[in-house]
Each structure stands twice: as C-alpha cells, then as structure tokens.
Amino acid sequence: MKVIAAIAEKGGVGKTAIACVVAAGLRLAGARVLVVGLDIQPAAAAVFALPHPGVSGVAQLLLGEEVQPVAGHLDVEVLSGGPALDGGDIRALRSDELRFGLQRLADRYDTVVIDVAPVILHLHRLALDAADLALVISDAQCMESLASLAKLIGEIATAKQRQAYSPGEVIPVINKVNRSHTLDCQLADQVAERYGADHTIIEIPHANIVPTAIARRRPEMALNAHSPVQQPFRQLIAQAGQLIVRSPEWSG
C-alpha cells in the first residue's frame, strides 16, 4: 500500500479538489482507494462519502481504535476527519502514529490519498511522516501560495538529509495556471530551476470544471475527454499509479 498526501500551507489553492480527482482516477484505474480526511473540516471525505459520517474515523485510527471506513462514490472508501483532530490528545501524538495506524489497513487498500488541512502543523507532520508521495500544491495566482510551495519542498528535503521519515517522491502541482499570462508561463521553469530535474512539475489550467465536479461530488468529471484539465490530471494520476504498481501489495 502506498500513501499519497495532498498538502499545501495555504487554503483555497485547490488541494482538496486535486486530491479528489487523483483518488477518483486511481479508483477508475483499478486501485483499491482509501481517502483520509486529515482535516477538521469535511473536505475530501464529504465528496466521496454518502452521507458524510458524523464521527472522526481518522481520530479513532490515530488513537489506536478499530475503524470502519465508509464506502462511497465510485466505491472509494473514506475515513473522515473532524474537530477531534485538533484536540490535545492528537496534538500530543508522535509523528509516526498515522503511518503505523494506516499499516493496520494495508491489506485492504492499494493506495491511501490523504487530504491534509492547511495551516494545522501537527496534521502536516503526521501526513509527511506517513506519505510515500507528496503532492505539494500551490496557486499560480497567489504569491503567498507559491512561497509556501518553496517552504514545503525545502522541509521535505531537510527531512531526507536528516534521514527522518519523509515522502520518497514529491510532485509540485501548480494550480489555476493561465497560459495567457507571461508570469504563469515562467512558473514551472522557475520551480524546476530551483529544485532541479528530480521533480516533475504538473500545471493544472485555470478551469471551472474542477470546482464544479467537486460541488457535484463527481470528481471524475474532470477526467472527461473534453475537459481542459484532463491531460495534466491524467499525467499526475499516471505518475501516482506507477508508485502503486511498484508496490508488492498491488493487486491490479
């Protein structure tokens, strides 16, 4: 089982939407997918779960309790977050608790997609310790978001240097790119120049289809053949899929 964390320091950059489309695409490709809402808000869990469960399955998992994920849209299973994730008992946990908790579910899924809350640092810490792949998401229209992209990639690189648990792979995702803007055209090159050729940078064009798909609880709509975001999302899903296929547990 491989763990993918969609992470951003700033809210409103499209992190949840991207996590949901990736989860949907992997499920349609045949993977057994669990979506984990590592957020005090419903976030990605609400997109797939029908109806949204009232308890925080993630908090229960972190505290060592038995959990029963909810089967939802596309047969994607869900563990929801909630306010309990901001409690003192969760804040006091070691950073490896999510990793160990997910290992208890490893025989049931090929991949876990974690939608990580922005700003809440103890949840970032849990997610980055658990993830095999980090999707570091920023908004092309927000300089603060682009600065946080640099910060997060730097934190992951520092963790690797210290031989701490960290994602083995990182994909920077620049959302809401408008190619008619000169600055937007330069963003991917600037990120590549700063972080080298090790990172494949995905650009998601600015398009209404993604928020519409999430609002309708049908993230697979973004993968429609006529969608302007289909190609970069399929590239992103293919890269995530390669990680899963390399896993010895892959059953596809």
The DSSP secondary structure of 125-163, one letter per residue, reads HHHHHH-SEEEEEEETT-HHHHHHHHHHHHHHHHHHHTT
Q: Per-residue pLDDT for 194 more than 90?
A: no
Task: Supply angle C-alpha 168, 120, 171, rounded to 5.
Answer: 30
Convert the pLDDT of each residue in 152-171 to its tens digit: 878 888 887 787 788 888 99
The residue extents of the domains of the chain are 2-245
Q: Cβ distance 222 to 209 under 8 Å?
A: yes
The predicted structure's pLDDT at residue 165? 84
Q: What is the mean pLDDT of residues 22-48?
A: 92
3-state SS assignment for residue 168: coil
Q: What is the DSSP letter of 75?
A: G
Q: What is the mean pLDDT of residues 168-181?
A: 80
- Does the global pTM surpass 0.85? yes
Q: Which CATH number fits domain 2-245: 3.40.50.12780, 3.40.50.300, 3.30.1330.10, 3.40.50.2300?
A: 3.40.50.300
Q: What is the mean pLDDT of residues 31-49?
A: 90
149 vs 196, residue with greater confidence: 149
Q: What is the mean pLDDT of residues 7-13?
A: 87
Residue type, 92: A
Q: Give residues with Cβ within 8 angstroms of 154, minimum separation 6.
A: none
Residue 89: how many other CB atoms lie within 10 Å? 10
The predicted structure's pLDDT at residue 6? 96
